[in-house]
Structure 1
Amino acid sequence: MSTSRFTAGAPAVEIIRVGPGLWHALDDDRVAGHGEATTRPDGRVSLTVDAWHRPVFDQLARTMLADLPGPLHTVVDGADHELLAAWQAAGLAFGRREWDYVLPTTAVPALPPAGVTLQPSAHEVVAVEGGERVGEIRVVRVRVDRIDLVTVVPTHRRRGIARALVTHALGVLHQAGVERAYARVDEADPAATALFEGFGDRTTSTVELVRDGR
């Protein structure tokens, strides 16, 4: 739903549940909006509502939240303040905000610290020291090239391992003809934020809204 298209006024609607995870808002037997609850692979239940009128959205969202038990969540464009407010008014609370970064693949390579080697495999690059795995990076290449994971063992952080992993991954993509990659970072993670702000520009954000179990 794009809330910039909300129109003034609202029809008198009846909210009915038409199937598992599906609700319709009916205006004289005409569908004026619908809501859906889907179970993600991780087991979380995700909500979506599509309606032209804000009051119709409100009725659908509140009915869905009343009908559904347990934890619920939805993801909203961080710039869509009207939709954020609508979901919060319905009963969801702020969960987290993630920022998307665009990363040029021409970053200057950074060498790992002495004693640490980078070992690439088909799906990831692992940082190894003394035979132990101390960090890794994973890149997903579906539709766009995205850094999906960067992690360093806590006792080995602040040594430049994460930066070396990122520049290695970007260099491999550059050699494959890729000009830019993407990463999504939780704004509550200052270390990851600082890392990726050193490589690229922050663009858009997404906000997760949640309701804990009841």
Structure 2
Amino acid sequence: MNRGLLIGSGDVSPRPDDRLFVSIDTWLDEAFAPLAAAMLAELPRPLYTVLDEADRDLATCWERAGFTIRRREWECLVPTDPRVTGLDSVVPPSDTTIVAAGAAVETALREVDRAIRDEVAATVGWREMPAEVLPRAGGDTLVDPSKYAVAAQPDRYVGLIRVVQVTRLPRIGLIAVRADQQRRGIARTLLAHALGALHERGIPRATAEVNESNAAAVALFDGVGAQRVSSNLELVLR
């Protein structure tokens, strides 16, 4: 408070993976340091925060408080025209078909979703995944079954892609393939299907967030002409 006026506030948000994320909003630059000191003195480690990398002033404030960069996520604009993406000739493997969004069998969709998430948890771990795809209360991780297209084989689903409309542009919120089916072109086929469906609806671009350290995802989106337009940083205080 400054002469009875609110000049800043802090917030602590627990994530489903038990990590604590902090945020501070101030109306005066000098308010950040005392707010951060008061909050950090009371909170356990590690702590995390997320910010727009272009906001260098805010990044500097967090760095002065002891935070360091843990990961970077690129915000990308992705063209949908298959003549631009080069996906016009992509076909799935001979044992795999693509089931359009809204047409997947929900029980099988939930099975592949859980299987992929279990594989992630056993390898890189959920701390490497965007917050929006973290496990939810009760273990339910499927946001809206109608938003998912899937890659199907005769006995199971082996991959999925989710496209959601969160802003004026649709967003590719998740694309994933079971571990034993990777490197067969299934992710590329799912992306071709999703982008092609958007193109048919007259939507020229979609957005996607790509973890800089995920080499396969970076290569996939770079390969279809995705344009990096901004980036978010996740910082950590250990």
Report TM bin, short chain.
Answer: 0.7 to 0.9
In structure 2, what is the equivalent of residue 13 of structure 1? none
In structure 2, what is the equivalent of residue 12 of structure 1? none
**Aligned length, in residue pairs:** 187
Q: CA deviation at 1:131?
A: 1.9
Look up the SS of the partner of 1:27 in the other structure. coil
Look up the SS of the partner of 1:164 in the other structure. helix
Mapped partners of 1:141, 1:82: distance in 2: 31
Q: CA deviation at 1:151?
A: 0.8
In structure 1, list runs of 5 or more residues that go unmatched. Answer: 1-25
The structure with the greater share of residues assigned to helix is 2
Q: CA deviation at 1:156?
A: 1.9
In structure 2, list runs of 5 or more residues that go unmatched. Answer: 104-145
1:142 corresponds to which of 163, 166, 169: 166
Letter in 1 for 2:160: E
Mapped partners of 2:222, 2:58: distance in 1: 28
Which has the larger displacement, 45-54 or 87-96?
A: 45-54
Mapped partners of 2:80, 2:231: distance in 1: 21
CA RMSD of aligned residues (A): 2.1
1:211 and 2:237 correspond: yes
Mapped partners of 2:52, 2:71: distance in 1: 12
In structure 1, what is the equivalent of residue 220 of structure 2? 195
In structure 1, what is the equivalent of residue 197 of structure 2? 172
Summarize deviations over 1:26-61 as a string: whole Å, max 9, x none.
Answer: 233333322222445665443222224443211111
The structure with the greater share of residues assigned to strand is 1
CA contact (8 A) 1:65 1:91 kept: no
In structure 1, what is the equivalent of residue 91 of structure 2? 111
Aligned CA distance change for structure 1 residues 39 and 154 (closer, same or farther; 3 Å): closer
Mapped partners of 1:52, 1:29: distance in 2: 14
Mapped partners of 2:182, 2:65: distance in 1: 41
**Which is greater in Rg?**
1
Q: CA deviation at 1:160?
A: 1.2
Q: How high is the TM-score relative to the length of structure 1?
A: 0.78
Q: How high is the TM-score relative to the length of structure 2?
A: 0.71
In structure 2, what is the equivalent of residue 127 of structure 1? 151
In structure 1, what is the equivalent of residue 8 of structure 2? 33
Mapped partners of 2:30, 2:21: distance in 1: 21
Q: Give 1:154-169 correspondences, 5 Å limit.
A: 154-169=179-194
Letter in 2 for 1:148: G
Q: CA deviation at 1:66?
A: 1.1
CA contact (8 A) 1:98 1:206 kept: yes
CA contact (8 A) 1:58 1:86 kept: yes
Q: Give 1:84-103 correspondences, 5 Å limit.
A: 84-103=59-78
